[in-house]
């Protein structure tokens, strides 16, 4: 296991370097010079030169790329153009609100979707199966924005079950603010997750080992829980773990509409203000989390199926 994990870690080094080149090129070569946008069209050449020196844009591209690699290692991305805050402090302050929304919603929607998918696989071809599939397609066809507006108007405004928007940093009081967006998160994600998990389960149902288990007289429930579920865990792990990096950065729409000061809301504000350092920092963090999420997926593969370590 240790050798396998070390080998996977070594593989990530050239990937990280290649990703760093792509992100740097997008923001520093293709993106243009941000000083003109910050100072306006009436800025003097002296003002532009002074700001370029302050931002380090008068250095060579190789030196700037070296600075960016240092930022990736130290997670010190400088200061925001619009708020003048340290970006690292903005990120650390945005993580708790994002996780307080994402973690409960993610756990509930994953477990609920897996349970429903197992029931559908058990009753495959029945009326229950058809009703669930139709319901999933209908749920997937509705825009997330429609769910947000409906939830805010009906459950928050008309009935007053939840606050319309806002956030409380208190660990206990914050949950009344994230309850409605978490419920909407689960509603939006449930349809696609059930469809995907159902496909994973049904792919295993037709395998030879399932027919062998049934031929030996094993009950349908034992076959489902002891054999099908275990063998379906590889694609399930792939699908679930690959979503974890996106939990850290939060849900852009939900945080923006419900006034939750998480990383999603910070990113939306940075896009509106053309705050390139913040956008670049969030892009970098999202990329790093995605890469290490893949590494975690590989590690979990080897736990579920030891044969993976031999490949």
Lowest mean pLDDT among 53-57, 100-104, 147-151, 247-251: 247-251
Per residue in 48-93, pLDDT (tens digit) is 788 777 777 778 888 888 888 888 888 888 888 888 889 888 889 8
User: What is the Cα–Cα distance from 208 to 212, expressed in whole angstroms?
Assistant: 6
The residue ranges of DSSP E strands in the chain, in sequence order, are none
User: What is the Cα–Cα distance from 5 to 87, expressed in whole angstroms?
Assistant: 32
Instruction: Count CA atoms within 13 Å of residue 21 on its CB side.
Output: 5
Per residue in 282-306, pLDDT (tens digit) is 888 888 888 887 777 777 776 666 6
* pLDDT (0 to 100) of residue 249: 64
Reference 161, options 188, 187, 179; nearest CA is: 179
This prediction's pTM? 0.79
Lowest mean pLDDT among 5-9, 19-23, 141-145: 5-9
Q: Where in the chain is the domain with CATH 1.10.3720.10?
A: 87-273
Per residue in 164-209, pLDDT (tens digit) is 888 888 878 888 888 999 999 999 888 888 888 888 888 877 777 7
* pLDDT (0 to 100) of residue 108: 92
CATH architecture group of domain 87-273: Orthogonal Bundle (1.10)
Tokens at 307, concatenated: 């044969």
Total Cβ atoms within 10 A of residue 208 = 7
User: What is the Cα–Cα distance from 223 to 227, expressed in whole angstroms?
Assistant: 5
User: What is the Cα–Cα distance from 16 to 29, expressed in whole angstroms?
Assistant: 19
- Asked if 282 contacts 263 with a C-beta cutoff of 8 angstroms, the reply is yes
């Amino acid at each position: 296991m240790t050798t396998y994990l070390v080998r996977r870690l070594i593989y990530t080094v050239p990937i990280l370097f290649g990703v760093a080149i792509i992100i740097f090129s997008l923001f520093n070569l293709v993106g243009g010079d941000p000083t003109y946008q910050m100072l306006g069209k009436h800025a003097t050449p002296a003002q532009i030169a002074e700001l370029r020196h302050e931002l380090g844009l008068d250095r060579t591209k190789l030196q700037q790329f070296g600075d960016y690699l240092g930022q990736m290692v130290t997670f010190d991305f400088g200061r925001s153009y619009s708020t003048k805050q340290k970006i690292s402090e903005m990120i650390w302050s945005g993580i708790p609100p994002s996780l307080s929304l994402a973690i409960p919603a993610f756990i509930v929607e994953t477990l609920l979707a897996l349970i429903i998918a197992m029931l559908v696989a058990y009753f495959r071809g029945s009326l229950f199966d058809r009703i669930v599939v139709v319901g999933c397609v209908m749920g997937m066809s509705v825009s997330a924005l429609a769910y947000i507006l409906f939830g805010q108007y009906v459950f928050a405004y008309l009935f007053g079950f939840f606050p319309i928007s806002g956030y409380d940093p208190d660990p206990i009081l914050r949950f009344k603010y994230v309850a409605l967006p978490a419920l909407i998160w689960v509603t939006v994600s449930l349809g696609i997750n059930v469809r995907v998990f159902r496909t994973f389960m049904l792919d295993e149902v037709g395998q030879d080992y399932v027919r062998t288990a049934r031929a030996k007289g094993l009950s349908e429930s034992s076959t489902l829980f002891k054999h099908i579920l275990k063998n379906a865990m590889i694609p399930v792990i792939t699908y679930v773990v690959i979503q974890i990096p996106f939990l850290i950065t939060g849900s852009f729409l939900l945080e923006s509409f419900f006034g939750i000061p998480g990383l999603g809301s910070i990113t939306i504000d940075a896009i509106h203000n053309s705050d390139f350092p913040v956008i670049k920092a969030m892009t970098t963090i999202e990329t790093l989390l995605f890469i290490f999420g893949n590494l975690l997926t590989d590690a979990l593969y080897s736990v579920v199926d030891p044969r993976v370590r031999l490949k």
